[in-house]
Amino acid sequence: MDNIQQLQSVLEQMFPKMLGMRLTEATTDRIRAELTVTPDICTTGDSIHGGALMTMADFLGAAGTFLNLPPGAGTTTLESKTNFVSGARVGQTVIATCEPVHKGKRTQVWRTTIAREDGATVAIVTQTQMVLEGDPDPQTLIAKLFTGKSLEDQKKLLAQLERGGATIYRAFAAQEKDPAARETLLKAAEREEENAVVLEDQTGTTSPGP
């Protein structure tokens, strides 16, 4: 599934589907969509409602941010500013082009220009998206335990983790019904203990055996 299909699928499950938006381009540097103005999304004078324009831009800004997020992260709109320039009447098509102003680790800023088919600008929306960090993977969590520690302290910590790993391997082995698999797990536990001994010898520390 490409970006357009993926985002269009998301759009169809959310409020913006009421506008009849159609995504036409979706990359990490530009999101484009269009919609035909209908009476249902108009204000007085058969002109497109400002809320419809803001909803359109909000989705595109969030979509652009989404395509630039690291794995597991999310996003939410932090701030949005809209300048209304002109109108678009029933039957006309408006085209929105959303491009990044800033891509940061904590926030992203996207600007959406919405124009009629004749090129006249209807609105310009600038919005800030907050980047919501996802839950870190186990490897990242373990790596953080070593951050800021001296080499000796890192070795001591790793020795403790190795012994903890040995304990877990033995717990797995105790529950394993297959003799061959049980033996493999016990050998893995032995290797963990051997690694711990190497590290303890280098740091002059000792830990109790299994």
| Tens-level pLDDT at each residue, the chain (210 residues) | 588 988 988 888 889 889 999 999 999 999 999 999 999 999 999 999 999 999 999 999 999 999 999 888 999 999 999 999 999 999 999 999 999 999 999 999 999 999 999 999 999 999 999 999 877 677 877 888 899 999 999 999 999 999 999 999 999 999 999 999 999 999 999 999 999 999 999 988 765 555
Among 132, 149, 176, which residue terminates a domain?
132
Q: In the prediction, which pLDDT does 2 show?
A: 86
pTM of the model: 0.68
pLDDT at residue 208, as a whole number: 56
Contacts with 196 (C-beta within 8 Å, 6 or more apart), sequence order: 159, 160, 162, 163, 166, 207
Q: Which of 98, 132, 166 is the last residue of a domain?
A: 132
Q: What's the total number of domains in the chain?
A: 2
How far apart are alpha carbons 89 and 184 in whole angstroms? 73
Residue at 210 is within a domain: no
* The amino acid at 179: P
Examine the fold and report which residue of 132, 150, 169 is the final residue of a domain before the chain moves on: 132
From 75, 122, 77, select the one nearest 97 (Cα to Cα): 122
125 and 143 housed in the same domain: no
Could you list the residue range(s) of the whole structural domain that residue 51 is in?
A: 3-132
Q: Within a domain: residue 209?
A: no
